[in-house]
Amino acid sequence: MKYLFYSLTLLFALLSCQPSDQPDAGDSSVLNYREGITRISGDSLAFVLFAPKKQSVYLIGDFNDWKVVETFRMKKNGDYFWIKIGNLVPGKEYVCQYLIDKNIRIADPYAVKISDPVYDKDISSSVYPNLISYPAGKTTEIAMTVSTQQTEYNWSIRNFEPADSKKLNIYEILIRDFTEQGTIKGVQDKIGYLKTLGVNAIELMPFNEFEGNDSWGYNPSFYFATDKAYGTSNDFKTFIDACHTNGIAVIMDIVLNHSYGQSPMVRMYQNGDRVSSENPWYNTVSPNTSYSWGYDFNHESSYTKRFVDSVCAYWMKEYKIDGFRFDFTKGFTNTPGDGQQYDPSRIKVLKRIADEIRKRKSNAIIIFEHLADNSEERELSDYGILLWGNMNYNTNEATMGWGEESGGGSLKGDLSRASYKNRGWNKPNLVSYMESHDEERIMYKNELYGKSITGYNVRELAVGIQRTKAAAVILLSLPGAKMIWQFGELGYDYKLGSSMEEGRLERKPIRWDYYNVAERRSLYDLYSQMLRLRQEADYFSTENYSADLLNNFKYVTLISEFKRAVSMANFDVTVLSRSVNFGKSSTWKEYFSGTEITTDSENKTITLLPGEFRLYIEK
- Digit-coded pLDDT (tens) for 437-457: 999 999 999 999 999 999 999
Does residue 124 surpass a pLDDT of 90? yes
**In Å, how far from its chain's centre is CA 553?**
34
Q: Which residues sit opposite 587 in a β-bridge?
A: 598
Least reliable range by pLDDT among 189-198, 225-234, 288-297, 474-483: 288-297
Q: Which pLDDT band, with edges at 50, 70 and 90, does 609 fall under?
A: very high
The model's pLDDT over 237-252, given as tens digits with 9 standing for 90+, comes to 999 999 999 999 999 9
Q: What is the pTM of this model?
A: 0.95
165-542 matches 548-618 in fold:
no
Does residue 21 surpass a pLDDT of 60? no
528: closest CA among 591, 579, 480? Answer: 591
More confident residue, 562 or 414: 414
Classify residue 135 by its DSSP letter: -
C-alpha 32/C-alpha 86 separation (Å) is 17
Please, how many CA atoms are within 13 Å of residue 23, restricted to the half-sphere of its CB? 13
Q: Which pLDDT band, with edges at 50, 70 and 90, does 14 fall under?
A: very low
pLDDT for the residue 151: 83
C-alpha 565/C-alpha 617 separation (Å) is 4
Residue 78 makes CB contacts below 8 A (sequence gap 6+) with none
Q: Which pLDDT band, with edges at 50, 70 and 90, does 31 fall under?
A: low
Q: Which pLDDT band, with edges at 50, 70 and 90, does 18 fall under?
A: low
Task: Give the Å distances, CA to CA, from 166 to 350, 526, 543.
Answer: 21, 20, 10
Q: Which residues sit opposite 613 in a β-bridge?
A: 569
pLDDT for the residue 161: 97
Q: Which pLDDT band, with edges at 50, 70 and 90, does 17 fall under?
A: low
Continuous segment of H or E residues that includes residue 617: strand 613-618
What are the residue ranges spanned by the domains of the chain? 2-146, 165-542, 548-618
Which homologous superfamily does the CATH classification assign to the domain defined by 548-618?
Answer: Golgi alpha-mannosidase II (2.60.40.1180)
Average pLDDT score over residue span 282-301: 95
Does residue 9 surpass a pLDDT of 80? no
Average pLDDT score over residue span 3-24: 42
Does residue 1 surpass a pLDDT of 70? no
> In the CATH scheme, what is the code of domain 2-146?
2.60.40.10
Does residue 5 surpass a pLDDT of 50? no
450: closest CA among 249, 228, 611, 216? Answer: 611
Q: Are 236 and 226 within 8 A, CB to CB? A: yes
pLDDT for the residue 287: 94
Does residue 500 surpass a pLDDT of 70? yes
Q: Which pLDDT band, with edges at 50, 70 and 90, does 401 fall under?
A: very high
C-alpha 425/C-alpha 526 separation (Å) is 29
> In the CATH scheme, what is the code of domain 165-542?
3.20.20.80
Percent of the chain with pLDDT over 70: 95
The model's pLDDT over 76-96, given as tens digits with 9 standing for 90+, comes to 999 999 999 999 999 999 999
